[in-house]
């Protein structure tokens, strides 16, 4: 059933909610009214992730020049309520009241705040104040055809299609002295495509720009990727165990700097592992994501007509086996057994997620 929007009001009427002694301020595009009864925030509509405005059904961001006088108004337990409005063509739409959940800690630097609405916005209200733009062109999934026969080609094709080209930077001055110059083709291929799409070196848990030699109970290793907090790393035997070995096995080492690190053999060889790893980190880095709560596995049935499986073994990044699926512009992982499943989606465009609402899943996060 379609629900109507609340009645619009004028800017003057919205600001009057603040009460007597009204003072007007601006923080970026937002207009803020401070009065004796309340603080009123009027934001501009639009889809601007990480910038001022409505972010999702519960979160609104303010960003702009510092306004020290407003700091007391946006403390976590501020004495006066915060009323939110969004400016539309014909007036201001009331969004409800909110609490400040984060912001600058000192008055002199108060230039941003994260507001959480007391009541989530309906879908109709969210579409009115944060309209979903058309996705435009989206990456294809043709690269999946090469996963089994040429995973290096599949990796390169995925990366070039998913990550936009960036303005070339001057060559770095980093020394490569002492680093191997005869890397396995899979790792050399990763570095080739990383020079074209440096975003893949900025993952939360990146493949290292220069592999690092180390040793341990299993002998010499070449560490090529590491967890951002240093709690695990991934390596291959070094020097190679077999002369000219093209696609070595990968070892995951837990707590590599402890006295007794645990080392586990990954299921996929290096070429296919690098594709697994890149898909997983690309999902983590995607601007728009959606995660379901645990749902009955039978609820997945409608997805099979739109999702294409990636022929890789389940990945174990967080101790849950996750299988990869893709659709144009969409990356998906599914962790499931015969009865239950958890699904995660990631995309470059918000509009790619929006059709998923039709499935009626319960979402722990939904950026569409």
For the chain, 368 residues long, the average pLDDT of each consecutive 10-residue run is 82 98 97 98 93 93 96 89 96 97 89 96 95 88 97 98 81 45 89 95 90 82 84 87 76 81 90 96 95 95 95 78 93 93 95 94 93
Cα–Cα distance, 124 to 127 (Å, whole number): 5
Write down the pLDDT at residue 173.
42
Strand segments, DSSP code E, in the chain are 23-27, 30-34, 39-43, 53-54, 59-63, 82-88, 91-103, 112-117, 207-216, 219-226, 232-237, 249-254, 262-269, 288-292, 295-296, 308-309, 323-327, 330-336, 340-347, 363-366
3-state secondary structure of 192: helix
- How much is the pLDDT for 39? 98
Q: What is the pTM of this model?
A: 0.86
Query: CB neighbours (10 Å) of residue 114?
Result: 17
**Residues 6 or more apart whose Cβ sits within 8 Å of residue 6:** 93, 94, 125
Q: Contact at 8 Å (CB) between 47 and 131?
A: yes
The whole-angstrom separation of Cα 186 and Cα 211 is 13
**What are the φ and ψ backbone dihedral angles of 10, each rounded to 5 degrees?**
-80, 165
Instruction: Provide the 8-state DSSP code for 178.
Output: T
Do residues 107 and 90 lie in contact, with contact meaning Cβ atoms separated by under 8 Å? no
Backbone angles phi, psi at 234, to 5 degrees: -125, 140
Cα-based distances in Å from 163 to 227, 327, 343 = 21, 16, 23
Question: How confident is the model at residue 346, as a pLDDT?
Answer: 97
- Whole-number pLDDT of residue 175: 37
């Amino acid at each position: 059933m379609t629900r109507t929007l609340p009645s619009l009001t004028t800017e003057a009427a919205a600001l009057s909610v603040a009460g007597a002694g009204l003072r007007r301020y601006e923080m970026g595009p937002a207009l803020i009214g401070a009065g004796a009864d309340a603080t009123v925030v009027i934001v501009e509509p639009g889809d601007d992730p990480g910038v001022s405005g409505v972010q999702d059904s519960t979160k609104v961001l303010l960003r702009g020049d510092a306004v020290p006088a407003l700091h007391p108004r946006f403390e976590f337990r501020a004495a006066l309520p915060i009323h939110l409005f969004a400016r539309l063509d014909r007036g201001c739409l009331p969004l409800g009241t909110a609490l400040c959940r984060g912001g600058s800690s000192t008055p002199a630097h108060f230039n941003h705040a994260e507001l959480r609405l007391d009541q989530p916005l309906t879908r109709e209200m969210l579409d009115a104040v944060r309209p979903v733009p058309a996705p435009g062109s989206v990456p294809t999934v043709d690269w999946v055809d090469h996963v089994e026969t040429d995973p290096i080609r599949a990796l390169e094709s995925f990366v070039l299609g998913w990550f936009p080209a960036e303005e070339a930077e001057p060559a770095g001055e980093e020394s490569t002295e002492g680093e191997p110059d005869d890397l396995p083709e899979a790792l050399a291929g990763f570095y080739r495509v990383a020079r074209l799409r440096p975003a893949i070196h900025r993952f939360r848990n990146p493949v290292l720009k220069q592999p690092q030699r180390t040793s341990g109970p299993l002998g010499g290793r070449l560490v090529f990727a590491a967890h951002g907090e240093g709690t695990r790393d991934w390596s291959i035997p070094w020097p190679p165990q077999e002369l000219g070995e093209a696609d070595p096995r990968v070892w995951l080492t837990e707590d590599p700097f402890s006295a007794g690190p645990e080392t586990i053999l990954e299921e996929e060889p290096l070429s296919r592992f690098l594709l697994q790893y890149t898909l997983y980190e690309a999902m983590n880095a995607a601007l728009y994501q959606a995660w379901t709560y645990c749902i009955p596995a039978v609820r997945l049935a409608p997805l099979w007509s739109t999702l294409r499986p990636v022929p890789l073994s389940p990945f174990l990044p967080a101790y849950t086996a996750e299988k990869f699926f893709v659709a144009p512009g969409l990356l998906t992982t599914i962790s499931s057994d015969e009865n239950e499943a958890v699904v995660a989606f990631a995309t470059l465009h918000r509009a790619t997620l929006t059709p998923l609402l039709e499935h009626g899943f319960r979402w722990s996060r939904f950026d569409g």
